[in-house]
Structure 1
Amino acid sequence: MKKRLEHWHKVNIALVIFDIIGINLAYLFALFLRFDFTYSYIPQLYFQTFIKMIPIYTIVSLIVFNMMKMYQSLWRFAGVTELLRGLIASIITSIFYIIFSAFVFVRMPISYYIMGGIIQFLLVTGVRFTYRLFNMITDNLKARPNMERVLIYGAGEAGRLIYNDIKNYKNIKYDVVGFIDDNANKHGRYISSTPILGGREIVAQTVEDLDVDSIILALPSASRNHIKDIIDVCKESGAKLKTLPSIEGLLDNKNVNVNNIRDVQIEDLLERKQIKVNSQHTLDNIKGKTILVTGGGGSIGSELSRQIARNKPKRLILFDIYENSLYAIEQELRRTYPELDLVALIGSVRDPKKLDDLFFEYRPQIVYHAAAHKHVPLMEVSPIEAIKNNVFGTYNTAFAALRYKVEKFILISTDKAVNPTNIMGATKRMCEMIIQSMDHISKTKDDSILPKFKSEKYSIIRPYDKDFTSNFVAVRFGNVLGSNGSVIPLFKKQIAEGGPVTVTHKDIIRYFMTIPEAVGLVIEAGFNAKGGEIFVLDMGEPVKIDTLARNLIKLSGLKPDVDIDIVYTGLRPGEKLYEEKLMAEEGLQKTDNQIIHIAKPMDIDFSEFFKNMSILGDLVEDNVYKESLDILAKVVVTYHSPDSDLEMNKDKFEELYKESK
């Protein structure tokens, strides 16, 4: 079966043939030039030397050209590197010609050698750059349908590299119509044949005049505030916005190219600088440790897993009930970190026996507890499930951590736990109380106050000693951009479908942070944990959801209320107009990181708290709806469900407690 020649094979064969012709013509032309293009003036000794020398020289030249990778380069994209290779190859071959001909045959005139080498260089490299020029001209002459007309904002090195990348590749979907740059000295100049049109003040008019589809921000070294200012200007132009990662992000890829371009994300418009946590000293705390992440397949859990994996733990254990998301992060980590000792387990934090087996076998040293039900409206209609999963899932995991002497247990909490108006927030506040209670037991070595449940599911637990050593902390933060359940993916989906975008209330506000920031806080809290703290992030100014939606529409190159309608649907059950970062009863203590604070723990009657836990555990096991909410409201005094009694009769409470016993 014949092997089909690829296009590049054909090009290389053509180049070899041309090089043979070019080498011979170069020195023949040099010989005639030396003697005024008159054959009779050429001494026969010189002509015979040329005839004898040229076959040897041609073979040597082809070998040198191959060694200099002149047949491996992509000449469509030839540049300075290829030019230097051609020059060096011509110098090497010319030196060989001079030495070999002089010692083996006869020394030719110096002008012959010089002119021969120069002409050879011009012919050999010239044909290659002519090939590139021909392709550039034909590419520009070809019809390029469905091309995005783009402006590049930034006429610096990054902008030039992106421009060259776009021009060099046939299949790139962009057609660059101009540059924008705030440096007035560049205005009116050109990069290749493309003009630098002006500064930010002309963006809107330029987009309209030149029918621009997208603006690419090529400013990887600019500060976050500078980028935000530029985005604020560009998003009003009606063009889509795309950008390059920061210079730190580009360092991972080593090169600036068109593949680095991404859509501008809403986090680029956060009303504060991006928060950096996790000094190397902090991350070194992970190195060499066995670490468990519950809810490892979720948005927070998976990012935790990535940051932990890159810092070389002894073993990383991912535990999740949802197999699809767990499988996805497991495969990603195995591809990215093939040397990582990774264990992915399916299971529920609602199963204390499963947790006991896990802790007994793997003995984790640090536990990040991210498993939870988080969707506010869903938990409002399924409160028993919220209590089972959030409250008792946390209790089961924390109790296992206590028994097996985990060094640090870090709970992922939420600002919805502050003065909660919904089931999800109330259960997460109760989770924080569990953490404080477990830390109390760890420090006092007194587990006699732990709840006693009727259910057999809690009865079989391996014996343990009471020399507890664990530190339990909680980390509280706001909404996470791009997480499962975040409004951002919903808004993007609605925009892609042509709208409308649904906002619950025009004045609703939320605190936002990125997933890496949230995870950074969690890791830093684990490092700084002394036990019993609730860590709170200073999240800057809150963001109006209505503004968030309108900015997303603008970043997509569309106009709110014109191209995409915004519909206000009303607050959902249990939803607040605003979220709080801490309770009135709590105060904030500073940490070494000025952005991370510690909420002063509220006083808790731990014995009474676990007494309530006993009742609640038995009620939810029996799916008793109203009384479960009554107990939840009694424990979380800042929350009252519409379905619970505001004042529980003491006799009724004692009766429920006796029944639970």
Structure 2
Amino acid sequence: MLLKLITSLNRSQKALIFLSVDLLMVPLALLFALLVQELPEPGRALAQLVPVLPWLLGLVGVLELGLGLPKIQLKAYEGRAMLRSLLLAVVAGIALASLLHLARLALPSGTPIIFTLGYFLLMVGTRMLLLQVVRGAYRRGNPRRRVIIYGAGTTGRQLASALHNHESIDPVAFVDDNASLQGVMVAGLPVYAPARLREQAGLRGVKRILLAMPSLSQPRLARTARLLGTWGFEVQTLPSFAQLIGEEPLLDKLTPAAPQSFLGRIPHAGALEEAAAAYAGRVVLVSGAGGSIGSELCRQVLACHPRRLILFELSELALYNVHRELEQTAQGIGVTLVPVLGSVTDPRQVRRLLAEEAVQVVLHAAAYKHVPLVEANPLSGLANNIFGTQTLAAEAGAAGVERFILVSSDKAVRPANVMGASKRLAELVVQDLATRHGTTVFSMVRFGNVLGSSGSVVPLFQEQLRQGGPLTVTDPRMRRYFMTIREAVQLVLKAGAGAEGGEIFVLDMGDPVPILKLARQVIESAGYTVRDAANPAGDIDIEITGLRPGEKLEEEISISGDLVPTRYRKILCAREARLSEIEVATALRGLRAAMAAGDVAQARAVIARWTECPEDAPAGRTRPGSGAPEPARRGRRPVKSEVR
């Protein structure tokens, strides 16, 4: 009822109440001044003041309105507002002394002084009382959320002071790591050790913790917040006041470093030069156009000024994003963008698309590439990576496409997982088609991990860093080859432009990078230190989690190790055994049967058989299958070996 009455009052009505209360305090202050003094006839003295009272009330009312006291909210009645009340009381005391003198009233000389003090105390006291009444009404009508403040330093104390007047938040205690503060009262609240946080929260009915420790490093703050979250608390973090007013940058340490800064070498940079002619003025289709590699292929192909660029993508969101990004640039240079939502595993759509758009160059980057996910979903990975490649490549050959370039992976070399095996079988499928389609130049480009791509290790480490760690490494001995997205795509386009048919191009990626070293670099580049046995006070842990299913310690770039230089620097050509047409057909038939039956074990057995390396085969076998000799490429010239 009281809360409803308070909330129904407008600002003018509240100001009128404050003015009325302050005027009511004037006669009470006069009565107080008379009662505390030893007067022979108090009743007579009070009667003498009656004619003076209206003048004093009028003067006080005018002064109060002039000072704006009725307009000050109860929760804002501090400091300067009290000084205004003191000024009003002093002026009212002087006015009383003047009126007593003019009326020639014989009252003790201390009466105006006692009146001044009494009036000031009554004004302040009534406002404090009204504030508690209003707070009580709000608490009964809207119960306040009880919170504990973690951190009893300067920021924590300022936060507690601010929340004392809050209508819906009630700070009940501090928690702090500083032993000198534990057990004392700070800002009217007790301070406890962190070990007693859960106990005190339970006793006080607290569900929310406010972190007021801006001096802590962001990783430690994130770790603390995550720990409190696991205990079931709602956690909110308060930045420092210097950060709030712009004196300190917020989270400046967490600005991600550029992926190429972790490469350990100078990225290969250069123009496509004459290789751009293979794409200029042509109709180019990029499958997986919304992915990390696919979108960069689109950007660099667009710079070659193709006639049309077809963005073929399974994900609606990824297709929308890449089309929106490239649309303005394409319009500016007169290139037509064609966004196509679909799957490379759909032969009817692929056939119609190639025919209707008269595609001349296909860059096949669509693939499921995340090893643990494909390992957990083998049939989906095999269908997309093998049969998607077989469908798109076969239809490209049937449509008379000029060039087909498969983006492959170093995980295809002696594959230890489903993803790698699927890429190896995709390579074998494309090699087989290269022997049977004289008008289409089929080639493959094999390279390692790409820094900064979706799901790659550097963005993962940076996300773990933002969460306060730990950074997870599966094995301290693990090493991987790395390239930047830009250099990998540029070399793919150069290799595809110079292909003559059936080649497996391998990109020179320098030396493999230890993943443990990479994790340390990510931590140190953000301005933090690694926490380990040698540095227990460090900021971020590195946790060794153990190898995941299908994961190898090191990847290779060639099965045979026989690599031939090409006309382009950083691009090599691998001489490797291949399967015959009959063997490829047998492998695909066996895989289709296993997938039709939903038999994961059989599917794994098929890919294990046909991706077995010649070096690993039993004595007397040069290749899996029938042992037929490697078929010669039809009508293809040998790869040029001049080095640029």
TM-score range, shorter chain: 0.5 to 0.7
1:355 aligns with 2:330: no
1:488 aligns with 2:458: yes
1:369 aligns with 2:364: yes
Conserved? CA contact 1:478–1:512, under 8 Å: yes
Counterpart of 2:621 in structure 1 is none
**Distance (Å, rounded) in 2 between the aligned partners of 1:353 and 1:636:** 29
Change in CA separation of 1:441 and 1:173 when aligned onto 2, cut-off 3 Å: farther
**Distance (Å, rounded) in 2 between the aligned partners of 1:639 and 1:385:** 27
1:324 to 296, 317, 322: 317
Counterpart of 1:574 in structure 2 is 550
Residue 270 of structure 1: how far off its partner (Å): 1.9
1:518 aligns with 2:459: no
**Distance (Å, rounded) in 2 between the aligned partners of 1:280 and 1:421:** 38
Residue 548 of structure 1: how far off its partner (Å): 0.6
Q: 1:270 is aligned with what amino acid?
A: L
Counterpart of 1:591 in structure 2 is 566
**Distance (Å, rounded) in 1 between the aligned partners of 2:345 and 2:320:** 20
1:292 aligns with 2:285: yes
2:378 to 368, 383, 387: 383
Residue 617 of structure 1: how far off its partner (Å): 1.9
**Distance (Å, rounded) in 1 between the aligned partners of 2:245 and 2:446:** 44
Conserved? CA contact 2:472–2:543, under 8 Å: yes
Counterpart of 1:274 in structure 2 is 267
Conserved? CA contact 1:586–1:602, under 8 Å: no
Counterpart of 1:544 in structure 2 is 514
1:477 to 436, 447, 469: 447
Counterpart of 1:619 in structure 2 is 594
Q: 1:355 is aligned with what amino acid?
A: V
**Distance (Å, rounded) in 2 between the aligned partners of 1:639 and 1:616:** 21
Please give the per-residue CA displacement for 1:445-486, whole angstroms capped at 9, x wherever unaligned: xxxxxxxxxxxxxxxxxxxxxxxx001000000000111110
Moved more, 630-639 or 401-410: 630-639
Which sections of structure 2, spanning at least 5 residues, go unmatched?
A: 1-213, 216-243, 532-537, 616-623, 627-644
SS of the residue corresponding to residue 483 of structure 2 reads: strand
Residue 172 of structure 1: how far off its partner (Å): 12
What does 1:207-246 correspond to in 2, within 5 Å?
none
1:399 to 394, 397, 410: 394
Kindly report the root-mean-square deviation, in angstroms, between the aligned alpha carbons of the 2 structures: 3.2
Q: 1:579 is aligned with what amino acid?
A: E
Change in CA separation of 1:416 and 1:594 when aligned onto 2, cut-off 3 Å: same
**Distance (Å, rounded) in 1 between the aligned partners of 2:625 and 2:492:** 40
**Distance (Å, rounded) in 1 between the aligned partners of 2:245 and 2:358:** 52
SS of the residue corresponding to residue 608 of structure 2 reads: helix
1:553 aligns with 2:528: no
Conserved? CA contact 2:610–2:625, under 8 Å: no
**Distance (Å, rounded) in 2 between the aligned partners of 1:279 and 1:566:** 40
**Distance (Å, rounded) in 2 between the aligned partners of 1:603 and 1:357:** 31
Change in CA separation of 1:345 and 1:382 when aligned onto 2, cut-off 3 Å: same
Counterpart of 1:427 in structure 2 is 422
Q: Give percent identity, aligned residues only.
A: 43
SS of the residue corresponding to residue 587 of structure 2 reads: helix
Change in CA separation of 1:531 and 1:563 when aligned onto 2, cut-off 3 Å: same
Which sections of structure 1, spanning at least 5 residues, go unmatched?
A: 1-145, 148-170, 177-212, 215-239, 242-261, 444-468, 641-648, 652-661
Q: 1:478 is aligned with what amino acid?
A: G
Conserved? CA contact 2:272–2:490, under 8 Å: no
Residue 385 of structure 1: how far off its partner (Å): 1.0
Change in CA separation of 1:376 and 1:332 when aligned onto 2, cut-off 3 Å: same
Residue 612 of structure 1: how far off its partner (Å): 2.0
What does 1:248-267 correspond to in 2, within 5 Å?
264-267=257-260
**Distance (Å, rounded) in 1 between the aligned partners of 2:428 and 2:247:** 55
Q: 1:537 is aligned with what amino acid?
A: L
Counterpart of 2:338 in structure 1 is 343
Change in CA separation of 1:394 and 1:374 when aligned onto 2, cut-off 3 Å: same
Please give the per-residue CA displacement for 1:322-351, whole angstroms capped at 9, x wherever unaligned: 010110000011123323200001101111
SS of the residue corresponding to residue 565 of structure 1 reads: strand
Change in CA separation of 1:285 and 1:495 when aligned onto 2, cut-off 3 Å: same
**Distance (Å, rounded) in 2 between the aligned partners of 1:382 and 1:591:** 38
Structure with bigger gyration radius = 2
SS of the residue corresponding to residue 363 of structure 2 reads: strand
Change in CA separation of 1:602 and 1:341 when aligned onto 2, cut-off 3 Å: same
Conserved? CA contact 1:278–1:523, under 8 Å: no
Change in CA separation of 1:325 and 1:639 when aligned onto 2, cut-off 3 Å: farther
Conserved? CA contact 1:266–1:548, under 8 Å: no
Conserved? CA contact 2:577–2:614, under 8 Å: no
Q: 1:489 is aligned with what amino acid?
A: P
Change in CA separation of 1:568 and 1:589 when aligned onto 2, cut-off 3 Å: same
Residue 637 of structure 1: how far off its partner (Å): 1.1
Q: 1:388 is aligned with what amino acid?
A: A
Q: 2:469 is aligned with what amino acid?
A: G
**Distance (Å, rounded) in 2 between the aligned partners of 1:477 and 1:425:** 12
Residue 586 of structure 1: how far off its partner (Å): 4.7
Change in CA separation of 1:436 and 1:579 when aligned onto 2, cut-off 3 Å: same
Residue 263 of structure 1: how far off its partner (Å): 5.3
Please give the per-residue CA displacement for 1:276-330, whole angstroms capped at 9, x wherever unaligned: 2543211232110000000000000001011111221100001111010110000
What does 1:41-56 correspond to in 2, within 5 Å?
none
Counterpart of 2:467 in structure 1 is 497
1:600 aligns with 2:570: no
**Distance (Å, rounded) in 1 between the aligned partners of 2:259 and 2:600:** 40
SS of the residue corresponding to residue 442 of structure 2 reads: strand
Superposition TM-score, scaled by structure 2 size = 0.55
SS of the residue corresponding to residue 413 of structure 1 reads: strand
